[in-house]
Amino acid sequence: MKNYASTDLRNVCIVGSQGDGKTSLAEALLFNSKVTNRLGTIAEGNTVCDSSEEEIERKISINLAVSFVEHRDKKINLLVAPGYADFVGDIYAGLAVADVAVLVIGADTGVTPALENVWELLEDKKMPVAIFLNRMDKENVDFSALVKTMKERMSSQVVPINAPNAAGGGFSSLVNLFDEKVQGEAASLRDMMIETISSGDDTLTEQYLDGKPIAKETLESALKHELVERNLFPLLCGSATKNLGTKELADFIVDYFPAPKLSENKNFSALVYKSVSEPGMGQLNFVKIFSGAVTPGKDIFNFSKNSRERVGQLTFVQGKKKVECPQVSAGDLVALMKLKDTKTNDILCDEKTAPDLKQIEFPVMLYQRTVVTQSKGDNEKVGNALSIITLENPTIKHFFNPETKEMILAGMGALQLEIAAKKIKARYGVDVTLKAPRVPYKETIRGRAEVQGKYKRQTGGHGQYGDCWLKIEPQERGKGFEFIDKIVGGVIPKNFIPAVEKGVKETMEQGVVAGYQVVDVRVTVYDGSYHDVDSSDMAFKIAGALAFKKGFSEAKPVLLEPIMNVEVFVPTEYMGAIIGDLNSRRGRVLGMDKSGRKEVVKAQVPLGDMFQYAVDLRSLTKGSGKFNMSKSHYEDVPSEISVPLINAYQKSRTQEE
């Protein structure tokens, strides 16, 4: 495999919504370049890009697929991103190292709400985009109507470059709109193309308005420039499964897409955009080289980890196939094998050079599930498995929640975490169940109490004796715990006071009425007694715990629940449904705003009603809704929720005793 100069490289990320034909398009490009000897299909599970067991079984793309084709002495690196919303992190990774995106749209489905979300992301990333209108062979497809819709719902600067020779089943070839001899509807589309391309240049606009012909070469040069500047979005069409329009797309990529933009720094620098762990092969890190070059055996520096690495084998990847290469230069994508400490989003460089690279900003993970194992002995295995899975996918994270004492798995949605759980079983032989997390309620009080806690035990020899009186009262919300020593006259020796406080604190951590952490209380120890021989730290710790439990129960205990600030981004037509749904979740709508093409609903909602929201919102808005969420404050839990929680906890405690 030869080493391509940066001018001969094209880095392309193929994106779109679920089921619009991204994998089929990549398959056709690979077939045309003789990488494969037959067109694989998703139905048969034999495509290059969807090669994992989960993808073949579910017939959807789950991972960012990396491949390449060689076309007209150029190397086109293909990054095929999943379309399902749970795997949006892979779109972020692909766009971070691509120079242009190809947005695939199904002609039979058109501009769907989910597709508009992808378009918004491309706009946010300021990514140059060409559009491939797929499945033009489907019945009832109206090309002109689709172009109009794209101009209205995406950008007025969408510009057709070619058009189908006929509609539906009659589609068999493309009409090149640069051809001056086109007629009929194609002539109208050609005129639209010339007008749109000319609009970015005053001289060309003047020529167009004066009715003067514009040379083909001039139009092509202007189109290439305006594509890179995101002033135009070229539209090509075809049918990936019938391999129509795919050769024209490859030509367009070579002729119009830019070569990689390189760092001015000539020393080696690279970004890891994807990591996988392959059984029997170890870890594989996919990188884009932004400057310099890399060879096997090269010593490099992991800038993110402050550690040294040595490069092993270099490979270009095509699905499960790996092609070795002796050297890779700036602008190219390559996989590095068996680096020790490197993972996704790490920056690699020469040790003495500070790299001018930015890490990928992945989306926030708002969907959480508790990981439940069959036995406690499996916890360590699951922890190791989760570490590897989160290394492979930066939009999955796991952590222990000390408030609820649960192992939490967080991600973008239910399907993503379901696949992660299945992978744990397949790779590590450990069964895990995912369930809704516990709400991290808190306990506090609204009243006051003064109580005695006395612990006395005689078991032969030295006994145990501790006696304390506590005053328990509420603090302001958020002020926390305060312990005050008001013992006078030595009724409790000073050395036993810390034990009383420790008994109180340990009880607060465990909870009293419902098993949740106690917050915002002031405890004053003001009286008590002791025994010269039998008193001990342990006895006073138990006495403090007994007094606190009794006093807390008498001081009008209440449960508090976390309230979240929520922002929901939706098209106008879903506003009523969203507001009604938030109200059903005990939410308070605080106001509405505008963000781009979407409405923003601002609300405060109890966390306990938001665990399933990532899934429910997609269902409510046909995939078009998005939301942000952050902690706000704690509020009293309504009695219809708190009473059953308290009763259930007290019943369980009685059974344990």
- Identify the pLDDT of residue 486: 97
Place of tokens 């002495």: 73
Do 132 and 36 reside in the same domain of the chain? yes
First-to-last C-alpha distance (Å) of the chain: 72
Model confidence band, residue 93 (pLDDT cutoffs 50, 70, 90)? very high
> Which is more confident, 633 or 653?
633
Do 92 and 143 reside in the same domain of the chain? yes
- Identify the pLDDT of residue 280: 66
What average pLDDT does this structure show over 638-655? 89
Do 478 and 625 reside in the same domain of the chain? no
Model confidence band, residue 123 (pLDDT cutoffs 50, 70, 90)? very high
Identify whether 120 is part of a domain. Answer: yes
- Identify the pLDDT of residue 656: 65
What digits encode the pLDDT tens for the residues 169-210? 899 999 999 999 998 899 999 999 999 999 989 999 999 999
Q: Is the dihedral of CA 186, 188, 189, 190 positive or negative?
A: positive
- Identify the pLDDT of residue 279: 67
For the cut 60, the answer to whether the pLDDT of residue 388 exceeds it is yes
pTM for the whole structure = 0.90
Identify whether 205 is part of a domain. Answer: no
Half-sphere exposure of 574 (CA within 13 A, CB side): 23
Do 171 and 23 reside in the same domain of the chain? yes
Q: What is the CATH number of the domain that holds 287?
A: 2.40.30.10
Model confidence band, residue 374 (pLDDT cutoffs 50, 70, 90)? confident
Do 407 and 496 reside in the same domain of the chain? no
Model confidence band, residue 460 (pLDDT cutoffs 50, 70, 90)? low
Identify whether 649 is part of a domain. Answer: no
What digits encode the pLDDT tens for the residues 26-80? 999 999 999 999 998 888 889 999 888 888 889 999 999 999 999 999 999 999 9
- Identify the pLDDT of residue 320: 83
How far from chain centre, in Å, is Cα 53? 22
- Identify the pLDDT of residue 263: 78
Q: Which of 492, 498, 450 is nearest to 471 (CA)?
A: 450
Integer Cα distance of 559 and 513 in angstroms: 9
Lowest average pLDDT, out of 392-396, 495-499, 541-545, goes to: 392-396
For the cut 90, the answer to whether the pLDDT of residue 427 exceeds it is no
Do 90 and 239 reside in the same domain of the chain? yes
> Which is more confident, 585 or 379?
585
Q: In whole angstroms, how far apart are CA 297 and each of 248, 291, 543?
A: 40, 18, 66
For the cut 90, the answer to whether the pLDDT of residue 167 exceeds it is no
Range with the largest mean pLDDT of 55-64, 98-107, 306-315, 412-421: 98-107
Do 625 and 504 reside in the same domain of the chain? no
Do 108 and 250 reside in the same domain of the chain? yes
- Domain end, chosen from 349, 379, 407, is at 349
- Identify the pLDDT of residue 99: 97
Identify whether 192 is part of a domain. Answer: no
Do 571 and 482 reside in the same domain of the chain? no
- Packing angle of the helix pair 216-228, 185-198 (nearest 10 deg): 60
Specify whether the CB–CB gap between 213 and 231 falls below 8 A: no
Mean pLDDT, the chain, integer: 93
Identify whether 264 is part of a domain. Answer: no
For the cut 80, the answer to whether the pLDDT of residue 647 exceeds it is yes
Integer Cα distance of 622 and 112 in angstroms: 9
- Identify the pLDDT of residue 9: 97
Domain range for 376: 367-435
Identify whether 183 is part of a domain. Answer: no
Identify whether 37 is part of a domain. Answer: yes
Do 509 and 618 reside in the same domain of the chain? no
- Domain end, chosen from 555, 571, 597, is at 555
Q: Two tokens at 148? A: 């109009």
What digits encode the pLDDT tens for the residues 469-494? 999 999 999 899 999 999 999 999 99
- Domain end, chosen from 492, 521, 555, is at 555
For the cut 60, the answer to whether the pLDDT of residue 657 exceeds it is no
Do 523 and 574 reside in the same domain of the chain? no
Specify whether the CB–CB gap between 268 and 287 falls below 8 A: no
Which H/E stretch holds residue 325?
Answer: none
Q: What is the CATH number of the domain that holds 495?
A: 3.30.230.10
Specify whether the CB–CB gap between 407 and 435 falls below 8 A: no
Q: How many domains does the chain have?
A: 5
Q: What is the CATH number of the domain that holds 422?
A: 3.30.70.870
Identify whether 100 is part of a domain. Answer: yes
- Identify the pLDDT of residue 214: 93
State the amino acid at position 384 in one-letter form.
N
Do 392 and 405 reside in the same domain of the chain? yes
Q: Is 543 left (phi over 0), alpha (psi -120 to 50) or beta?
A: alpha
